[in-house]
Amino acid sequence: MAQAFLENDSQEFVENARKEIEATRPTARNLFYAVEKVFAAGLQSTTKAVAKAEAIAAKDAEDSFAIGNFGNELIRAGFNIATHCNAGWLAFVDYGTALSPVYRAHEEGKDPFVYADETRPRGQGARLTAWELNNAGIRHAIIPDNATAHLMSQGKIDLMIVGADRIAANGDVANKIGTLEKAVAARYFNIPFFVAAPLSTFDRSCSTGKEIPIEYRAEEEVLYQSGPDEDGNHQKILVSSPGSGAVNPAFDITPAALVSGIITEKGIIYSPDKEKIRRINS
């Protein structure tokens, strides 16, 4: 958004840029939050737009670090931690949300092991989370999304931490498709299920998760897969039966009742509800 102001600060251009950015994703709250703030600053001056963007990035890094510190308290030495999708520093600034407690625990020598759900259809866990963890030297394994409940049933997962794209006023959590399924499994096997997210992820205009729009994406994401072949050439292959279609909801809503706690930059909201969320936000 700040880049748009730098390029051309005419009303028409920046309004179109704002629409274009917002149209990329209907579900994530932080996107709208940041675009709105930078847009408002830019209407005063381009310098202010850039300053606001930089301030948001700095605040994001600071919040992620605080989330890491609070979440780290949940992690005991040698814990096996499951996560879904990517909520590390590739998705945020510097530390990330769901992975930030893992990074802090690793720094403190707790030697955590992470099961990264591959997160079909886009594979953010297999591609991004695994890449982050590998670079950080944190022990981990990619697992098929289908294997999460099995590992829970075998006592191989001590804690699950995921991120959030948007959180309703009552604590219902919109996050990457499959999060709901993992939360239900975690509850069944009595495994603590935490959501890590800065307070800017909360959307008080949505009283419950039912009001959060769920993005449905192209069926091609399910029917095809892309990646490098052994010569490093990018290939797109069909991984399904020709002629069949797919349904591809990109997010789901995990009811607050299934969330052990939400790890924010101001502390952990255990058994989240409307009143506790209102209090921490004020």
Q: Which of residues 135-154 bind its own copies (CB under 8 A)?
A: 140-151, 153
Least distance CB 242 / its own copies (angstroms): 8
**SS3 letters for 25-43?**
CCCCHHHHHHHHHHHHHHH
Q: Does 236 bind its own copies (CB under 8 A)?
A: yes
Number of other CB atoms surrounding residue 23 within 10 Å: 8
| Cα 187 to Cα 185: distance, rounded to the nearest angstrom | 5
**The binder of its own copies chosen from 87, 180, 263, 269 (CB under 8 A):** 180
Q: Does 27 bind its own copies (CB under 8 A)?
A: no
Of 53 and 212, the one with the shorter C-beta distance to its own copies is: 212
| Cα 52 to Cα 46: distance, rounded to the nearest angstrom | 10
Q: Are 91 and 176 in contact (CB under 8 A)?
A: no
Q: At 2, which amino acid appears?
A: A
Q: Does 241 bind its own copies (CB under 8 A)?
A: yes
| Catalytic residue list contains 165 | yes
Q: Tell how strand 234-238 and strand 113-117 pair up.
A: unpaired
Task: Name the segment binding its own copies (CB under 8 A); options: 63-71, 101-109, 244-252, 274-282.
Answer: 244-252
Looking at residue 129, what DSSP letter applies? Answer: I
Positions touching its own copies (CB under 8 A) are 115-116, 118-121, 123, 126-128, 130-131, 133-134, 140-151, 153, 176-178, 180-181, 184-185, 187-188, 214, 222-223, 225-230, 235-241, 243-249, 252-253
Catalytic residues: 165
